[in-house]
Amino acid sequence: MKTFLFQGDSVTDAGRDHEDDFDLGPGYPRMVAEYFDKKYPELFSFVNTGTSGDTSACIYARMGTEILNIHPDYMSLLVGFNDISHLINKDDGIASHRYEQLLCMLIEDVTEALPGIKIIMLEPYVLKGVSTAPKWDELNPGVRNNAAIAKRVAEKYGLPFVTLQDKFDALCNEKPADFWVQDGIHPTENGHRVIADELIKAVEKELK
């Protein structure tokens, strides 16, 4: 059985129980796990180490305990929103050029320690909502720039890249943004399903 690790910030965390190593939370990681458990029984065991508030620097700093020690065969990575939002709020944000460096360092160090691991990059995204609207003119271009960086890094290392921003933008033409995300960033059940479906497609391509 192969180990699949979900890594990221609050979107991946989704309120999981951090005291329970087997709790995936109610978000897209659980939806992905349920799909694969049903379609491909005993193919994967799933672990979620996504942590609310994380930036790329946080994930890199805890790489040993939250990635390497788990020895995943597959890892999805969704990070980049907090790098910008924390920077705008003058907290512990990460400038875009450092975000790119940290992603590259993370990928290089993980693949060196775990040869053969398959890493799937998910695109950071932002929609206009109650939490994002007050700083929208800074957040929107900042997150989209990080999305472009994440795609560039994925291409550099030949990693699958899951597009989310264009998907959510298109869906917002069908339903209001708050149908997909609660506040501009944290998904509703509908939004988590969107992320899960896109990630499932990417993983299934890797299985072929």
Can you tell me the mean pLDDT for 131-145? 97
On average, the pLDDT of the chain sits at 97
Beta bridge partners of 34: none
Percent of the chain at pLDDT above 90? 96
DSSP-derived letter for residue 7 is: E
**Residue 90, pLDDT score:** 79
- Residues 39, 30 contacting (CB under 8 angstroms): no
Instruction: Give me 25's structure tokens.
Output: 């939370």
The SS3 of residue 24 is coil
pLDDT band at 189 (very low <50, low <70, confident <90, very high): very high
* CB under 8 A, 24+ apart: contacts of 58-61: 59/7, 59/8, 59/106, 60/102, 60/105, 60/106, 60/109
Q: Report the 3 state secondary structure along 36-49.
A: HHHHCCCCEEEEEC
* pLDDT tens-digit series, residues 50-79: 999 999 999 999 999 999 999 999 999 999
* pLDDT tens-digit series, residues 81-109: 999 999 998 778 899 999 999 999 999 99
Residue 208: pLDDT above 90?
no
**Residue 92, pLDDT score:** 81
Instruction: Give me 136's structure tokens.
Output: 């929208």
**Residue 21, pLDDT score:** 85
**Model-level pTM greater than 0.75?**
yes
What number of residues does the chain have? 208
How many Cα atoms within 13 Å fall on the side-chain side of residue 122?
30
Q: Which of 154, 16, 2 is nearest to 71 (CA)?
A: 2
Instruction: Give me 143's structure tokens.
Output: 């997150």
Residue 197: pLDDT above 80?
yes
**Residue 25, pLDDT score:** 97
Q: Looking at this protein, which amino acid is placed at residue 143?
A: V
Domains of the chain: 2-207 (3.40.50.1110)
Can you tell me the mean pLDDT for 119-139? 97
Diameter of the chain by CA atoms?
46
Radius of gyration of the chain from Cα atoms?
Answer: 16
